[in-house]
């Protein structure tokens, strides 16, 4: 490829593309949210804090209760389909037979996620 003369139009094109790349880099950095990983043992009550918000997981008589700070959190199962029942900010479901299973707690308005690994 032969070298081309740096014209005013080519310089403007390079500067525009460089500006777009810098903006994309800073936008991704500003909106990045780290996924929090939490491991709970279901033999006891598990309480943990993420960014000042308190969550708790309790297992009683084969039913697991996940209490979130407010109703803007959604609980889903990563490993298989569980029947989740939501009452206000408390989610409940029957304890699966798997020794380990994963729940994902996501916030409806923030780009926040918590990966919750439950050990029996």
pLDDT by 10s per residue, the chain, length 120: 568 889 999 999 999 999 999 999 999 888 776 678 888 887 778 888 887 888 888 888 878 888 888 888 888 877 666 777 878 888 888 877 766 778 888 877 776 778 888 877
CA 83, 86, 89, 93 torsion: positive or negative?
Answer: negative
What CA–CA distances, in Å, run from 58 to 5, 24, 34, 63, 86?
A: 70, 42, 25, 8, 15
**Which pTM value belongs to this model?**
0.63
Check residue 99 and give its pLDDT.
65
Check residue 118 and give its pLDDT.
80
């Amino acid at each position: 490829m032969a070298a081309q003369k740096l014209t005013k139009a080519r310089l403007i094109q390079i500067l525009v593309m460089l500006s777009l790349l810098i903006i994309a880099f800073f936008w991704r950095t500003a909106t990045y949210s780290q996924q929090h990983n939490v491991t709970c043992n279901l033999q006891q009550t598990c309480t943990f804090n993420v960014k000042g918000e308190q969550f708790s997981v309790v297992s009683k008589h084969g039913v697991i209760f996940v209490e979130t700070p407010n109703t803007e959190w959604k609980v889903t199962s990563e490993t298989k389909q569980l029947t989740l029942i939501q009452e206000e900010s408390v989610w409940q479901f029957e304890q699966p037979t798997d020794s380990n299973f994963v729940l994902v707690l996501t916030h409806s308005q923030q780009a926040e996620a918590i990966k919750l690994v439950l050990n029996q």
